[in-house]
Amino acid sequence: MSAGSAVTGVGSTGRAGGGVVRAVARRPLGVVCVAWLGLLVLACLLAGWLGSSPQEQDLEAVYSGPSAAHWLGTDQLGRDLLSRVLHGGRVSLLVVGVALAVHVVLGVVLGLVAGYRRGLVDRIVSRLADLLLSAPAVVILLVVLAVFPHNEAAAMTTLGVLSSAGLARVVRASAIRVREEPYVAAATVAGLGTVRILVRHVLPAVAGPVISLVSLVAGSALLVEASLGFLGLGTQPPEPSWGGLIADASQAIYRQPWMLVPTGGVVAVTAVACALLGDVVRDATDDRATGEPLSWRRMRTRVVARESREPAALCLLSVRDLTVRLADGTPVVDGVDFDVAAGQALGLVGESGCGKTMAVSGVLRLLPPGATVDAATITFDGRETLGLTEREMVGVRGRGIGYIGQDPVASLDPLFTVGDQLVEAVRHHTGATRRQARAKALELLAAVRLPDPAAVAARYPHELSGGMAQRVSIARALAGEPRLLIADEPTTALDVTVQAEILDLLRDLRSRTGMALVLVTHDWGVVADTCDTAVVMYAGQVVENTGVAEVFAAPRHPYTEALLAANPAAAEPGSRLPVLPGAVPAPGHWPTGCRFALRCPHVTTECVAAPIQSTSDTAGAVSRCLHPRAGART
């Protein structure tokens, strides 16, 4: 990369950091730090016009404390300390600026080129960085000062070069991450040159870490500069420098201790301001990831039992009027009813944002912090779970209801072998000895039809394929011998052939153990394959609850009908797919009447007038529609 492009690169750091600047400006600590540094720089620049010359001696007032004539007192020759601090700052801040400029330019350019180009360039830059990081900085600085006596600029340039290795590493790591982003690939395909891609797409992503690291380096560069001055290696008297001023003050520490306050203070406060600014920038750029810390009480899910409604008799799980609200009060599930009989497989279908996952998480009471579960009843195995304490609920989860999620590899702890994790689960649920638990773990792995259970047990999660990992997480869910398994999109991340195997396995487990299944999915094919009943959700509500054969043959709710029709598997190849206008209304923006009304081709005025109640027909099929479609579909 040429020097010209390096300059463009640095120039755009500030532009790209616009978001960071705004975020810092919102934090009081950030504002204070920036204000101090800004005022200091301004005062040093204007030092010539502010008060007396730094060399002007007032021999009648040597070693004076703060006074009207000398705001910060005077030194051993009666020179004004304020003036000397500000004039000294011009030199000190200038050379610190030189060190930082070298640090940033070298670090950013080398890091970007190494991280984005990879290959030989990367290897050379990385080795060079290792070399610089292992070099003894103090010794090298002393050598440089021996060659260029009292040349602070040379010393600080050297410091900038030495410290740039750390920055180059940080930038390189960020650049490697960003270059894999699809938007960078899209920019490459769009015909953008390397320099443009680096400036537009890579630099903004590395700006946060760069700014926070640079502000830390600024603080330490300032201290190094002051130390050189203190040791007499930097600017020579009578020219003032911050390190020299501290040296003068330390010699007079018994005669006039005050001298140390302004001279040492300005260095200390400035270094602290730089370091704090780094912290603020880091926090500001992390903002999106970490929210307000919640208290333990708020972390818990609040449970409200409404006036009781009779649960369905003889059902394993009976849910009535389940409502889930997030911490900010937004309802995401609204009045959901469903029943699961022993051994039955129920499919919970709908598009993203319809509340499927939140509904099952509400049953398990595993919700985001601060959420509220509010229901008439959630009866599991003849027992009302709404009144259970958190501790009792732990017993229900796992031993009564097992759970598997969408990403099997992520659901396993990467630090422990499959065997360890299963043994832990078995011991938690049954209190078995380690030996018994290990035997049981191997049994479980065999039960999910993994060939060679002992070998699989010795592996770590990252050594498993997606299908194997999902079998392992099913095995772990089976450790408590649950009567109900809740599977949230268990095959979405898997290949079709592996999906078929997992679905067959679930079917087989149900027939062998009589376990019931609640399967959350968006895939009608999976519902057709595995489920006995289908519960279709839309905008937080159940809009249809029917047997699987009926739902495909004669859907009742227009949403079910539309969703089935949108499936290319059911359409004539090459034809236009029937589409719905608009999108699923977001939680908190649900209309009062029928929530599907805006997108429904059969909408009438009464649909939007008032909330639509669920009705069940003679066959027991439930739908939430004034004009059910049953039989209308050809």
* Residue 532 binds another protein (CB under 8 A): yes
Neighbours of 520 (CB within 10 A): 24
Between residues 356 and 365, which has the closer beta carbon with respect to another protein? 356
Site string for another protein, 326-365 (x = CB under 8 A): -------------xxxxxxx-----xx-------------
d(CA 324, CA 340): 19
Between residues 194 and 430, which has the closer beta carbon with respect to another protein? 194
Minimum CB separation from another protein for residue 458, in Å?
A: 24
Q: Among 90-98, 142-150, 198-206, 625-633, which window interacts with another protein (CB under 8 A)?
A: 198-206
Among 122, 248, 488, 529, binds another protein (CB under 8 A): 529
Q: List the interface residues with another protein, window 202-241 (CB under 8 A).
A: 204-205
Nearest to 311 by CA among 340, 290, 285: 340
DSSP state of 585: P
CA distances from 375 to 192, 401, 479, 512 (A): 56, 18, 29, 33
Q: List the interface residues with another protein, window 491-520 (CB under 8 A).
A: 495-500, 503-504, 507-508, 511
Beta carbons of 502 and 494 less than 8 angstroms apart: yes
Helix (H, G, I), strand (E, B) or coil at 323: strand
* Residue 188 binds another protein (CB under 8 A): yes
* Residue 16 binds another protein (CB under 8 A): yes
Report the half-sphere exposure of 621 (CA within 13 A, side-chain side).
21
Nearest to 103 by CA among 9, 248, 214: 214
* Residue 314 binds another protein (CB under 8 A): yes
Q: List the interface residues with another protein, window 559-588 (CB under 8 A).
A: 562-564, 566-571, 573-574, 576-580, 583
Strands 622-623 and 541-547: antiparallel
Q: Which long-range contacts (CB under 8 A, 24 or more apart) does 36-42 make?
A: 36/269, 36/270, 36/273, 37/270, 37/273, 37/274, 37/277, 40/89, 40/93, 40/266, 40/270, 41/93
Between residues 188 and 430, which has the closer beta carbon with respect to another protein? 188
Minimum CB separation from another protein for residue 130, in Å?
A: 23
Minimum CB separation from another protein for residue 206, in Å?
A: 12
Residue 146, C-beta contacts closer than 8 angstroms, at least 6 positions apart: none
Give the interface size with another protein as a residue count (CB under 8 A): 75
Nearest to 538 by CA among 586, 582, 570, 579: 586
Between residues 10 and 341, which has the closer beta carbon with respect to another protein? 341
Q: List the interface residues with another protein, window 80-139 (CB under 8 A).
A: none
Neighbours of 460 (CB within 10 A): 15
Between residues 293 and 568, which has the closer beta carbon with respect to another protein? 568
CA dihedral 454, 460, 464, 466 (to 10 degrees): 120
User: Exposed, middle or buried: residue 302 (CB in 10 Å: 0-12, 13-18, 19+)?
Assistant: middle
User: Containing H/E element for 347?
Assistant: strand 345-349
Minimum CB separation from another protein for residue 523, in Å?
A: 7
Between residues 18 and 395, which has the closer beta carbon with respect to another protein? 18
Minimum CB separation from another protein for residue 364, in Å?
A: 20
Q: List the interface residues with another protein, window 433-492 (CB under 8 A).
A: 466
d(CA 513, CA 482): 9
Q: Among 153-161, 200-208, 367-375, 475-483, which window interacts with another protein (CB under 8 A)?
A: 200-208
Nearest to 228 by CA among 390, 88, 362: 88
Q: List the interface residues with another protein, window 166-185 (CB under 8 A).
A: 181-183, 185
* Residue 549 binds another protein (CB under 8 A): yes
Among 1, 133, 187, 260, binds another protein (CB under 8 A): 187
Q: Among 60-68, 78-86, 291-299, 548-556, which window interacts with another protein (CB under 8 A)?
A: 548-556
Q: Among 75-83, 308-316, 588-596, 623-631, which window interacts with another protein (CB under 8 A)?
A: 308-316
**Structural tokens at position 191:** 């015909």
Among 363, 373, 548, 600, binds another protein (CB under 8 A): 548
